[in-house]
C-alpha cells in the first residue's frame, strides 16, 4: 500500500467518505441527490471491478476474500439503486414540507457516511476495526431515523440508539475477550486482532474463553441483525425513518451485522474445544422467525409490517447458517441476497405508496392495482416474492433451507415450515386488501421512479428461474468455506 497507488479497496472507502464531506456543503438538493447517485454509481463500479482484477493482496487492515466480496457487491448495488429511489422520494417530501433543504443536506451526507461505514465493516481484516465501523453505521442510522423529528421518529431513534448501543457494547466486550484468548498464542498487538491471523491459529486458543466471547458477540451483533428477543428497535426504526433509510437498513445493515457474526462463527468452527455455534444460531433464528410470523397478523402500519417481515427473514437466514453444511449455507447465502433485493424493492414501492396515499395505515390503503397500477403491481410482485411463492428467487432459497433441514434435523423442519406458512398467510391476507378491491383514499398520480424497484424484482425473478452456473459454483465455494 504505497502512498500513490490507489487500490480498489481504498477507493470503495474513499469515494463515499469524500462524497459525504462534499454533500455536507451542497445547498441545492437536486444537485445533492445527483451527486449522491453518482458517488454510489462510482463505488459500485469500483466494487464490480474487483471481479475483473481479482482480490488485492491481504493487508493488516483490509481483506477481500470470496465471502465478503458477495456482501460488498450487494451492498454497493443496493446502495446505488436506493440512491436513485431516494432522489425521487425526497423531492416529494420536500414539496409537502416534511423535510427542509438543511435536513436534506444532512441526510445525504449521512447516507454516504453509512455506506462508507458498511463498506469498512465488510473489508476490515481487523475485528476491532470491524466493530468501529459497525458502531459508526449505527450512529448514522440513528440520525437518519430521527430525521423527521416527529414524536414517533424521536421515540424510534431513541429506542434504536439505546438498544443499538447496548448491543454494540456487548459486541465490544466479546471482541476484547477474543483478543484475550488470542494474545497468549499469537502475541500482543495488532496480530491478535487480525482475522486472517486468528483463523490460522484459532485451534490453539482457550476454548472456554472464546465460548463466552462468542455468546457476547452473538447477542451484541444479533441485536443489530434484529434477532428476537433483542429486535425491539427494528420495527420502530423502519416505520418512522425516511423510506430510503428503511430500505438500506433492511437490505444492507442487517446483512453487515450478520456478516460479523459469520466471521466469528468461522473462527468458532475452527477450534476443536469450543462449543458448536450452530445450535445457538438455530435457536435464535427459529425464535425470530416464529415470533415475527405471528406478529405480522396484528400490524396496522404498512412499513412496520414489512419490518417484521425483515425480522422473519433474518431469522431464516441465521437458521440456515446455524444449520451449516454445504446446502444450508448455500441456501442461507442465496436467501440473504434475494431478501435484500426483494425487501428493498418492497420498500421502494411502499415509500411511493405512502406518499401517494398520504398515510402508512394499512386500513386506509385499498385497491392499489387500480389507482396506481405500476406501484400496486410492483407491490404485488414484491410481496409474492417475499412470501416465498414460485417462480421467484426466495421460493428457491426457502425450499433449499427446508430440504436441507429435513436432511439434517427432520424435527426442526416442523417449526420452520409452520413459521413460513404463518408468515405467508399474514402477508397474503394484507396484500389482498392493499392491492385489490375498490380504491380508497387519494388516487392522484405520484411522481415515482419505477426503475430501481422493477430492476430488483426482475433480478429476483431471473434468479428464481435460472441461476447461472458460475454463480452457483461460486456460492458453493463460499458455502464450503463457511463450514
Partner 1 sequence: MDGLIFDIAHLLAGGLVLVSFMMLYQDRLYALLNVYALHALVLALSVAWQAFAQDAPHLYVTALIALVFKAIIIPVALHRMIARLGIHREIETVVGIGPTMLAGMGLVALSMVVMLRVTAAADPMAREDLAFALAVVLLGLLMMVTRRNAVSQVVGFMSLENGLVLAATGARGMPLVVEISVAFSILIALIVIGIMLFRIRERFDTVDVHALDRFRGERR
Rule CB under 8 A: say whether 176 interacts with partner 1: yes
- The residue among 229, 244, 250 whose CA lies nearest residue 314 is 250
- The residue among 354, 334, 338, 342 whose CA lies nearest residue 378 is 342
User: Considering CB under 8 A, how many residues would be counted as binding partner 1?
Assistant: 52
Rg (CA), the chain: 21
Least distance between partner 1 and beta carbon 429 (Å): 18
Which residue in 51, 101, 152, 477 binds partner 1 (CB under 8 A)? 152
Angle 460-463-464 (CA atoms, 0-180°, nearest 5)? 85
Identity of the residue, 161 or 330, whose beta carbon is nearer to partner 1 in the bound complex: 161
Identity of the residue, 38 or 60, whose beta carbon is nearer to partner 1 in the bound complex: 60
Identity of the residue, 170 or 482, whose beta carbon is nearer to partner 1 in the bound complex: 170
Rule CB under 8 A: say whether 224 interacts with partner 1: no
- The residue among 68, 416, 119 whose CA lies nearest residue 262 is 68
> What angle separates helix 451-465 from helix 393-408, to the nearest 10 degrees?
40
Report d(CA 36, CA 16) in Å as an integer. 9
Least distance between partner 1 and beta carbon 333 (Å): 30
Identity of the residue, 103 or 330, whose beta carbon is nearer to partner 1 in the bound complex: 103
Contact 226, 314 (CB under 8 A): yes
Which residue in 3, 57, 97, 189 binds partner 1 (CB under 8 A)? 189
Stretch that binds partner 1, among 138-146, 280-288, 340-348, 384-392 (CB under 8 A): 138-146
Least distance between partner 1 and beta carbon 212 (Å): 5
Rule CB under 8 A: say whether 294 interacts with partner 1: no
Task: Match 468452527 to its residue by C-alpha cell.
Answer: 269
Rule CB under 8 A: say whether 263 interacts with partner 1: no
Angle 473-411-420 (CA atoms, 0-180°, nearest 5)? 65
| Helix and strand counts by DSSP (H, E) for the chain | 20, 0
Rule CB under 8 A: say whether 301 interacts with partner 1: yes
Rule CB under 8 A: say whether 284 interacts with partner 1: no
Rule CB under 8 A: say whether 206 interacts with partner 1: yes
- The residue among 30, 26, 481, 48 whose CA lies nearest residue 266 is 481
Which residue in 23, 110, 142, 457 binds partner 1 (CB under 8 A)? 142
Task: Match 497468549 to its residue by C-alpha cell.
Answer: 184
- Residues pairing with 194 in the sheet: 126
Chain centre to alpha carbon of residue 12: 18
Which residue in 101, 184, 358, 445 binds partner 1 (CB under 8 A)? 184
Rule CB under 8 A: say whether 193 interacts with partner 1: yes
Report d(CA 465, CA 268) in Å as an integer. 36
Least distance between partner 1 and beta carbon 7 (Å): 21
Rule CB under 8 A: say whether 173 interacts with partner 1: yes
| Cell numbers describing residue 344 | 428493498
Report d(CA 37, CA 34) in Å as an integer. 5
Rule CB under 8 A: say whether 99 interacts with partner 1: no
Which residue in 9, 40, 70, 129 binds partner 1 (CB under 8 A)? 129
Rule CB under 8 A: say whether 232 interacts with partner 1: no
Binding-site ranges for partner 1 (CB under 8 A): 126, 128-129, 131-132, 135, 139, 142-143, 146, 149-152, 154-158, 161-162, 165-166, 169-170, 172-173, 175-177, 179-180, 183-184, 187-190, 192-193, 206, 208-209, 211-212, 236, 239-240, 299-301, 304
Amino acid at each position: 500500500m504505497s502512498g500513490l497507488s490507489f487500490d480498489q479497496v481504498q477507493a470503495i472507502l474513499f469515494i463515499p467518505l469524500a462524497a459525504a464531506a462534499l454533500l455536507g456543503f451542497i445547498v441545492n438538493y437536486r444537485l445533492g441527490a445527483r451527486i449522491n447517485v453518482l458517488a454510489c454509481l462510482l463505488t459500485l463500479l469500483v466494487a464490480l471491478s474487483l471481479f475483473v482484477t481479482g482480490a488485492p493482496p491481504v493487508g493488516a487492515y483490509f481483506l477481500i476474500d470470496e465471502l465478503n466480496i458477495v456482501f460488498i457487491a450487494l451492498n454497493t448495488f443496493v446502495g446505488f439503486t436506493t440512491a436513485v429511489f431516494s432522489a425521487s422520494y425526497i423531492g416529494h417530501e420536500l414539496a409537502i414540507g416534511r423535510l427542509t433543504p438543511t435536513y436534506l443536506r444532512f441526510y445525504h451526507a449521512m447516507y454516504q457516511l453509512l455506506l462508507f461505514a458498511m463498506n469498512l465493516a465488510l473489508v476490515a481484516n481487523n475485528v476491532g476495526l470491524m466493530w468501529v465501523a459497525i458502531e459508526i453505521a449505527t450512529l448514522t442510522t440513528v440520525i437518519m431515523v430521527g430525521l423527521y423529528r416527529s414524536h414517533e421518529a424521536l421515540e424510534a431513534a431513541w429506542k434504536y440508539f439505546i438498544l443499538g448501543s447496548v448491543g454494540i457494547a456487548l459486541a465490544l466486550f466479546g471482541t476484547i475477550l477474543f483478543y484475550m484468548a488470542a494474545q497468549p498464542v499469537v502475541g500482543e498487538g495488532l496480530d491478535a486482532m487480525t482475522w486472517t491471523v486468528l483463523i490460522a491459529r484459532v485451534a490453539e486458543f482457550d476454548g472456554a474463553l472464546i465460548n463466552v466471547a462468542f455468546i457476547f458477540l452473538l447477542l451484541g451483533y444479533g441485536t443489530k441483525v434484529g434477532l428476537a428477543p433483542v429486535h425491539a428497535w427494528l420495527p420502530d426504526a423502519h416505520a418512522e425513518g425516511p423510506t430510503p433509510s428503511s430500505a438500506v437498513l433492511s437490505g444492507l445493515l442487517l446483512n453487515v451485522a450478520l456478516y460479523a457474526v459469520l466471521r466469528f462463527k468461522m473462527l468458532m468452527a475452527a477450534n476443536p474445544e469450543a462449543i458448536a455455534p450452530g445450535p445457538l444460531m438455530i435457536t435464535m433464528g427459529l425464535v425470530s422467525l416464529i415470533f415475527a410470523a405471528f406478529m405480522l397478523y396484528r400490524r396496522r402500519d404498512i412499513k412496520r409490517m414489512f419490518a417484521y417481515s425483515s425480522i422473519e427473514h433474518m431469522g431464516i437466514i441465521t437458521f440456515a447458517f446455524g444449520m451449516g453444511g454445504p446446502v444450508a449455507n448455500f441456501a442461507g447465502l442465496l436467501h440473504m441476497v434475494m431478501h435484500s433485493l426483494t425487501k428493498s424493492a418492497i420498500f421502494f414501492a411502499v415509500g411511493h405508496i405512502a406518499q401517494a396515499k398520504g398515510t402508512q395505515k394499512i386500513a386506509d390503503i385499498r385497491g392499489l392495482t387500480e389507482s396506481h397500477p405500476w406501484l400496486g403491481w410492483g407491490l404485488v410482485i414484491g410481496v409474492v416474492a417475499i412470501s416465498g411463492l414460485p417462480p421467484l428467487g426466495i421460493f428457491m432459497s426457502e425450499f433449499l433451507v427446508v430440504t436441507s433441514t429435513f436432511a439434517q434435523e427432520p424435527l426442526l423442519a416442523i417449526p420452520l415450515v409452520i413459521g413460513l406458512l404463518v408468515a405467508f398467510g399474514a402477508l397474503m391476507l394484507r396484500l389482498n386488501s392493499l392491492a385489490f378491491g375498490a380504491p380508497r383514499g387519494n388516487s392522484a398520480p405520484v411522481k415515482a421512479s419505477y426503475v430501481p424497484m422493477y430492476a430488483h424484482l426482475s433480478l429476483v425473478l431471473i434468479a428464481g428461474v435460472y441461476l447461472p452456473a458460475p454463480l452457483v459454483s461460486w456460492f458453493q465455494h463460499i458455502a464450503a468455506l463457511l463450514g
